[in-house]
Chain A
């Protein structure tokens, strides 16, 4: 009985990750891509994407769920990059400059986001998501109309031909892979962007350290139970705002790292999919709305991106259409997010019901198991 229960619990606890491993195991041979190619892709993509995924951790500790509002930070990072290209600052200095410009913007946006989420307790995720759309409107307004009209742009080549507004694609040649190539290591057939890995390692150390500080402990207390934290004298709202501000700033840096690796930027929709990829990766890695660890991040990035690399090819080989693979990977991405949110919410409710049953005794137990709670 108990063994059966354990297996069931293990399956439901790791359902997402298991489904993913199975799908990938089927898709890799079907894609006929070489192992070397896939491994190299993964090495690159870990450097490119992990920072953004790590940015999601703090709000989870603070009990605010998945921070879909991270898009705000991504937009701040893009504004920073536009400025760096405009001023013609190249290389790593350009990235540092972009981060310096993006930081105050993302702190301000993070503060706004945190304050709004405090007014929407209990539905932070959907509010953060919609806030991302809203700020996207403001971002488009700024970049498409203000830049060149109100905000002076010196570099005419990044402007649209009408004289204001930034071009749809911003060429980041001047800062392209400057962080990755700062120190890159050749190991056999593989190229390792060591400098990016070092930045990632530094961030991991920061997160581990932060969890042990007073603020980090407060954050986890708030995430565990807001009422208890409040009673213990922790400024709940303030702690939540800080979690979001840090996450937004990290998302800003993460987007800069992401884009320097890509080498060009779709000015008006580079940030559209940021939260989707980051959240999907984290959940694929076995995290939930309430619990996420650093290993979840890296496992998730690898698993999600293996599928993303192989599925168009697998679709081509299996169904004669790369488009099917393309749709399939998006379906899987959205589906994984939906599935793990559902699994988490059902588990939470079941536990609440079990707790109620044990508090009120056996009489209520039957009612709780009946699902009418």
Chain B
């Protein structure tokens, strides 16, 4: 019994409550007329869409840079890649992987700059990351209006200038991963195998990376910078490496998201995206300075499960839409909770 208590205490009460709440939602679902197979399809879809974003949190947490509230920089790189791929008229798998290739230089450059900046402001990374992210999103809003893209499916019909707020990727790379080896079991249950496999590949690569020499160095820098410096590691370099990887994964993440969701969302859309990823990894049991693959998978599943199940079950049961409020309270509550846990703040 004390064992259970200790396990729960270590995992954290908020997470246990969220887990139980999700279980309760699944149990309740059939009683209020929500089909479980439908729900499962939705949860898996959204899991696939978001897992890479959540994975992007891992390297920076490990290297001691904290939660990457500036993930929007990676998202911006991904959006640029997607738009360039659309502009070049690439389609299907070529479109998707072309978009990743085109996004990479932006992701690496932005990541390098962002990493250098974060090295200058150790101890204040998170607040600054958030505002750097916001400012970049707003800067890109101007760019989306003035950059000379010309593919007619992407720009506003009237005036013929400026990119649309949402661009359908139907003709570019919609469902490239989702439809790959998709399992259709019955009328309602569809498993987006390709996306899940891609997520698994990314997670495997990340896991493998953390086991390499550089990966261990990144973790060492995060868990004890003084010790790492004493053993001859360059703290700043390792941190920059982690930031670049995180930014790159943000770029890949938005493209995975788009191919499943079906639309590119420009302008203000990336503003709030980092918060969902931050909340997810924290719900999965990560702390501000320690994260594992298990945290990523569990967290994405719990958080996306909650986002999918709350609206359908609560709406069916109470006839009101409380999902937005539940989302606000749960996701921000868990972030506040994690920030108040006692951890060493690296200066």
The reply to whether chain A is a binding partner of chain B is yes
Report whether B120 and A346 are in contact in the complex, using a CB–CB cutoff of 8 Å. Answer: yes
B322 close to chain A: CB less than 8 A: yes
A331 to B144, CA, bound (A): 14
A345 close to chain B: CB less than 8 A: yes
Report whether B328 and A137 are in contact in the complex, using a CB–CB cutoff of 8 Å. Answer: yes
Q: Which of B46-96 contact A (CB under 8 A)?
A: 69
The closest CB in chain A to the CB of B330 belongs to A137
A32 close to chain B: CB less than 8 A: no
Contact with B along A115-146 (1 / 0, CB 8 A): 01001111101110111011011101100110
* Interface SS of chain A: helix
Smallest CB separation, A350 vs chain B (Å):
9
Given contacts A120-B339, A137-B333, contact A345 B141 (CB under 8 A): no
Report whether A131 and B120 are in contact in the complex, using a CB–CB cutoff of 8 Å. Answer: no
Q: How many A-B residue pairs have CB under 8 A?
A: 123
B336 close to chain A: CB less than 8 A: yes
The closest CB in chain B to the CB of A326 belongs to B141
* Chain A hits for B146, CB < 8 A: 319, 324
Which of B27-35, B121-129, B168-176, B203-211 binds A?
B121-129
Report whether A137 and B325 are in contact in the complex, using a CB–CB cutoff of 8 Å. Answer: yes
B197 close to chain A: CB less than 8 A: no
B324 close to chain A: CB less than 8 A: yes
Q: Which of B104-119 contact A (CB under 8 A)?
A: 117
B99 close to chain A: CB less than 8 A: no
A40 close to chain B: CB less than 8 A: no
Contact with A along B303-347 (1 / 0, CB 8 A): 000000000000000001010111111001101100110100101
Given contacts A126-B69, A323-B145, contact A140 B328 (CB under 8 A): yes
Given contacts A134-B336, A323-B145, contact A144 B325 (CB under 8 A): yes
A169 close to chain B: CB less than 8 A: no
A327 close to chain B: CB less than 8 A: yes
* Chain B hits for A371, CB < 8 A: 236
* Chain A hits for B124, CB < 8 A: 125, 341, 345
Partner of A141, one of B229, B325, B345: B325
Report whether A324 and B145 are in contact in the complex, using a CB–CB cutoff of 8 Å. Answer: yes
A342 close to chain B: CB less than 8 A: yes
Report whether A123 and B128 are in contact in the complex, using a CB–CB cutoff of 8 Å. Answer: no
Partner of B345, one of A122, A323, A328, A331: A122
A319 to B347, CA, bound (A): 44
Which of A48-56, A150-158, A332-340 binds B?
A332-340
A291 close to chain B: CB less than 8 A: no
* Chain B hits for A130, CB < 8 A: 332, 335-336, 339
Report whether A342 and B128 are in contact in the complex, using a CB–CB cutoff of 8 Å. Answer: yes
Given contacts A137-B325, A338-B135, A372-B236, contact A120 B128 (CB under 8 A): no
Report whether B132 and A324 are in contact in the complex, using a CB–CB cutoff of 8 Å. Answer: no
The closest CB in chain B to the CB of A337 belongs to B131
A349 close to chain B: CB less than 8 A: yes
* Chain A hits for B139, CB < 8 A: 331, 335
A358 close to chain B: CB less than 8 A: no
Given contacts A126-B69, A319-B146, contact A372 B325 (CB under 8 A): no
Smallest CB separation, B310 vs chain A (Å):
13
A86 close to chain B: CB less than 8 A: no
Smallest CB separation, B306 vs chain A (Å):
13
Given contacts A145-B320, A327-B138, A327-B142, contact A341 B131 (CB under 8 A): yes
A372 to B122, CA, bound (A): 12
* Chain A hits for B127, CB < 8 A: 65, 123, 125-126, 129, 341
* Chain B hits for A144, CB < 8 A: 325
A321 close to chain B: CB less than 8 A: yes
* Chain A hits for B121, CB < 8 A: 341-342, 345-346, 349
Partner of A331, one of B138, B229, B327, B347: B138
B301 close to chain A: CB less than 8 A: no
Smallest CB separation, A321 vs chain B (Å):
6
* Chain A hits for B320, CB < 8 A: 145
A50 to B310, CA, bound (A): 41
Contact with B along A215-253 (1 / 0, CB 8 A): 000000000000000000000000000000000000000
* Chain B hits for A324, CB < 8 A: 142, 145-146
* Chain A hits for B328, CB < 8 A: 133-134, 136-137, 140
Smallest CB separation, B335 vs chain A (Å):
5
* Chain B hits for A338, CB < 8 A: 128, 131-132, 134-135
A330 close to chain B: CB less than 8 A: yes
Q: Which of B142, B235, B320, B347 has the most CB of A within 10 A?
A: B142
* Chain A hits for B142, CB < 8 A: 324, 327-328, 331
B130 close to chain A: CB less than 8 A: yes
Smallest CB separation, A356 vs chain B (Å):
11
Q: Which of B226-253 contact A (CB under 8 A)?
A: 229, 234-236
Smallest CB separation, B271 vs chain A (Å):
10
Given contacts A331-B138, A349-B120, 18 further A-B contacts (CB under 8 A): A123-B126, A123-B127, A126-B126, A130-B339, A134-B332, A137-B327, A137-B333, A138-B329, A324-B146, A328-B142, A331-B135, A334-B131, A335-B138, A338-B135, A345-B120, A345-B123, A346-B120, A372-B236
**What are the 10 A-B residue pairs with the smallest beta carbon separation, nearest first?**
A137-B328, A137-B329, A331-B138, A345-B121, A338-B131, A134-B332, A334-B135, A122-B345, A133-B332, A334-B134
17 contacts between A and B (CB under 8 A): A116-B336, A123-B127, A127-B336, A129-B127, A130-B332, A133-B332, A319-B146, A324-B142, A330-B138, A330-B141, A335-B139, A337-B135, A341-B121, A342-B128, A345-B121, A371-B236, A372-B234
